[in-house]
A and B are shown apart, each in its own frame.
Chain A
């Protein structure tokens, strides 16, 4: 399951690709919504660990515009519910993630991202 929480952690690691290698862009994706348990404490702890702009951009790419462009200072229940949905309930099942810099394509199939590189691509 490539959820946006996972996408927010993945960078291109092709040899020499060290700038503009995060976030990866989604391509030809199929998504599925699956409900998951709401845990506000987890979300609060996780917020500072997120690359916020990458998350908002990825959500927009998948057609979800519920998150504000800036992380809000006042974190209320409504915001946490939106964050929960975007981070944990949108599953990318098929498609690919593409590096903005070197254009390397990382396929996603059956909900699993293939981030392996061939021997000569490894830094």
Chain B
């Protein structure tokens, strides 16, 4: 058992502005725990979490890998989420490195084909498009869930750069719900970007049917 990160430094007030870990967070922790051995064997240099919120997930992977074994980069558009992530790192003795930005914008050129573990628990709730756009602009708590059409408007932008980001042995863990159309996401990633995937875990949690999907590079075995 890998202990769930200590978040006791965050208060009810903090969670007015920063996403409080919930079922979608925990299913991602469960998926990482299940893959712990494999993740350690990868010997990652770069772990990158998009939308780190409280920092819970990155602190957890830091605990799996060891605090000095990799770099733990985090991004979030919400400045209070970045602060919470920094504090959660300190509290759990994992050097989390929050950068306030959308997706990976300032990191993309340098991280091209370098990210070993990419994580995203996105704003996946289907909403009106304007609601998602406003939420992205306001950088507050609504941005934690408002996902626009099919809940995919933010995620979609990331899907288009995953191929560019992943290292040779890199993998990408994505949290999704049924309304996001997981089979369509997987088909697109395979057909357009040649990235196969597998469902690591899926479960019903209250009204949500949650998935963690893992994408990786196709490894072609050369036949003799």
A binding-site residues for B, Cβ under 8 Å? 1, 3, 5-6, 8-13, 22, 36-39, 42, 45-46, 49, 51, 88, 106, 110-117, 119, 122
- A112-B82, A113-B100 known; A9 vs B68 contact (CB < 8 Å): no
Among B46, B68, B83, B137, the residue within 8 A (CB) of A112 is B83
Q: Which stretch of B109-117, B193-201, B208-216 is in the interface? A: B109-117
Let me know if A116 and B101 touch, CB within 8 A.
Answer: yes
Which residues of A lie under 8 Å from residue B25 when comparing CB positions? none
Of chain A, the residue at the smallest CB distance from B77 is A116
C-alpha gap A60/B90 in the complex (Å): 27
Which of the four size classes fits the interface of chain B?
20 to 34
**Closest 4 pairs (CB-CB, A-B):** A39-B68, A115-B101, A37-B68, A115-B106
With the chains together, A46 CA to B45 CA distance in Å? 7
Chain B contacts of A13 at CB under 8 A?
A: 105-106, 108
Judged by DSSP, the binding face of A is: loop
Give Cα A38 to B69, complex, Å.
Answer: 10
Known: A13-B105, A112-B79, A116-B100. A42 touches B69 (CB 8 A): yes
Contact A10–B110 (Cβ < 8 Å): yes
Which residue, A8, A36, A112, has most C-beta atoms of chain B within 10 A?
A112
Instruction: Tell me the complex Cα distance, A1–B101, Å.
Output: 15
Interface centre among A9, A45, A106 (most CB of B within 10 A): A9
Q: Are B107 and A10 in contact (CB under 8 A)?
A: yes
